[in-house]
Amino acid sequence: MPTLPNPESLVETLKAGGPMMILMILVSVLIVALALERWINVMRAGRAVRRLDDRVLEAARKGNLEEARRLCDGVPAPTRDVFTAGLDRALGRVKGHPRMAMQREQKRAVASLKAGIWMLGTSGALMPFVGLLGTVLGVMSSFHAIGSAGTGGFAVVSAGISEALIATAAGLFVALEAIIFFNYLQSAIGGVARDLGLLVDELVEIVETREASDAGSSAG
């Protein structure tokens, strides 16, 4: 039956990884914290999009843009801002074109969801090289030990080799961690952006159809 690792041995292993381990541990903590914060925001945005579909768009489909605008106030930003920008212009509260206003706010909303995830991609690309740097330092330590002792042998080089291998493994682990979070968030944000875009297109269609109908009634 497998046994859990001894915390003391784990600490000793991390210490054996050399000075680069401190950097990699800090980056790993930053990656998890950033990924968790972005995930919470993406999930909140996804719920907001569903609320827009169930309430705001439903009112707009029935032709009640005033009610749709009122219901927007119960949706969290920045998703709310996409629809308030269009509805305010459609209702004449703000001058401008509803389509352009909603498309502009949609870009801002998606950009806010993507804020910071570039650090995950950058960490995924760089951390293997940080681990490689730790490997080089460990090998250099081994050669320095050989030079100082004037002889070889496993006892002389084991500390440096251990540091090298641990640093390599840690760098790869942090890189994999960052890439997994980055790809997941990219996919989740893409899904939210797609659903939001579909709702924007539908609301634009409703607004422009209403404007065309009002223009036809006025001309008649």
Lowest-pLDDT range, 49-53, 141-145, 202-206? 141-145
The DSSP 8-state label assigned to residue 77 in this structure reads T
Q: What is the mean pLDDT of the chain?
A: 82
CB 91 within 8 A of CB 69: yes
For residue 50, the number of C-alpha atoms closer than 13 Å in the C-beta half-sphere is 7
Q: How far is CA 9 from CA 4, 30, 59, 163, 206, in A?
A: 11, 24, 62, 14, 65
83-123: pLDDT as tens digits: 999 999 988 898 989 999 999 999 999 999 999 999 999 99
Nearest to 155 by CA among 166, 137, 142: 142
CB 108 within 8 A of CB 78: yes
127-141: pLDDT as tens digits: 888 888 877 777 776
Percent of the chain with pLDDT over 70: 78
Is the overall model pTM greater than 0.85, yes or no?
no
Residues 16-45: what's their mean pLDDT?
86
